[in-house]
Amino acid sequence: MNIKRRLPLILLAVLLIVLSFEAGFQFSQSLTHPDTEFAEEFHSLHEAWQNLQQYYVNKTALDPDELSKGAINGLLEALDDPYTSYFESYELAWSAFEGSFEGIGAVVTMEDGELTVVSPIVGTPAAEAGVRAGDKILEINGQSTSGMSLAEAVLNIRGPQGTTVTLLILHQGETTPVEIEIVRERIELKSVYLEMLPDNIAHIRITYFSERTHEELVTALNDTVESGARGIILDLRGNPGGLLDSVVAVASEFLDGGIVLYEADDEGNIIKEWQASSGGLATDLPLAVLVDGGSASGSEVLAGALQDRGRAKLIGTTTYGKGSVCTLQVLSDGSALYITTARWLTPNGHMIEGVGLTPDIEVAMTEEDIESGRDPQLEFAIEYIEGALKLEMLEGVW
């Protein structure tokens, strides 16, 4: 699979917040020597550059690289797509998917011009400091985020390991913002966590999809089988997505072949089918999937496949609704440009983008639950698996 097609949209936000890349797509050569293949409408851009060179009073301010970045920012802003963006270093962009980076560990996006948290990554400084899905980041170190681009916001949030960033955050559903100080860290992210629950029910949590996720899941599933597990709860809450290849490989452990998702254009016309492999380790065990508003992108693809294929029930709350394919284009100077190129559809043709997935069983998590440490969604999933096991026993008797 071409590496350019491996990056789902929502991890663009992960990269931005944890690695903090500023823009890096250089148009300086095009400004000084316009390509004859450029559309006629772009000639005025070249003319503007020529006029600045000739007439602008402060010639030292005419930095082609900086003006190029400004021009690209303008182009991307006009698209009204906060996820199409550009980065200074492709290598840095890719390193996020290897499971190790520096930052605070939260997934962010721009919603209606506001810097918004999609989800804090489990076990990171952002999560431990109380950052939540749906939070609005109003200020970074006292500077308003109003009017900031996503790249600018990230540049202000990032910093050396061990230093502190102060965020002014408005929690979803509240009216008074709070200041949260977060110490930046070097984050080594494990993506799969296994806990054996009573009655030999395996609780497997996937926090995001990296290059290592499938390997980690296989290890967890082997441990699950060796422990005599009778059912699995797959926890995708707060999972912002990741590598699409990894998502499909994970789906293959629960689905014995068949469609995982469709790739479609903006009108819903199918471009490509993504198929699961056969021979998975957990294609028969009773399965429940936990989702919430922080389940986005690749985790929605996986949950949607398991739901549509009748493999599992979704338990929790409606997912985030990020179902766009983003292509990573590597540029000649080592920078990279993300472009939204397609949409994802579930096996039944459900459009994820802007809609999300509706759980089969709606179970909310209240503030009181969070404060008390209670997890009603997990509790219900346990009851569901136990019920499925009892039904299997009755069917065996009959």
| Orientation of helix 244-252 relative to helix 298-308, angle to 10° | 30
Q: Which residue is catalytic, options 136, 245, 308, 313?
A: 308
Catalytic site includes residue 390 = no
* Neighbouring-strand partners of residue 114: 111
d(CA 82, CA 33): 29
What is the dihedral angle through the alpha carbons of 6, 342, 248, 232, rounded to the nearest 10 degrees?
130
d(CA 225, CA 200): 10
Contact 110, 116 (CB under 8 A): yes
Single out the catalytic residue among 20, 85, 297, 299: 297
> Does the active-site annotation cover 277?
no
d(CA 249, CA 82): 28
Residue 300, classed as helix, strand or coil, is helix
| Angle subtended by helix axes 10-19 and 150-157, to nearest 10 | 40
Contacts 24+ apart (CB under 8 A), 359-366: 359/291, 359/313, 359/314, 359/315, 359/316, 359/317, 359/318, 360/307, 360/313, 360/314, 360/315, 361/313, 361/314, 361/315, 362/316, 362/317, 363/315, 363/316, 363/317, 364/317, 365/292, 365/316, 365/317
Distances in Å between the alpha carbon of 167 and those of 12, 164, 182, 397? 21, 10, 8, 59
Is 297 a known active-site residue? yes
C-alpha distances (whole Å) from 82 to each of 197, 245, 322 are: 41, 23, 12
By C-alpha distance, which of 343, 327, 340, 322 is closest to 266? 343
What's the CA gap between 139 and 169, in Å, rounded? 7
Q: What is the DSSP string of 115-167?
A: EEEEEEPTTSHHHHTT--TT-EEEEETTEE-TT--HHHHHHHH---TT-EEEE
In angstroms, the Cα distances linking 239 to 10, 208, 221 are: 10, 5, 19
| Catalytic member of 299, 322, 324, 335 | 322
Hey, which residues are catalytic here?
A: 297, 308, 322
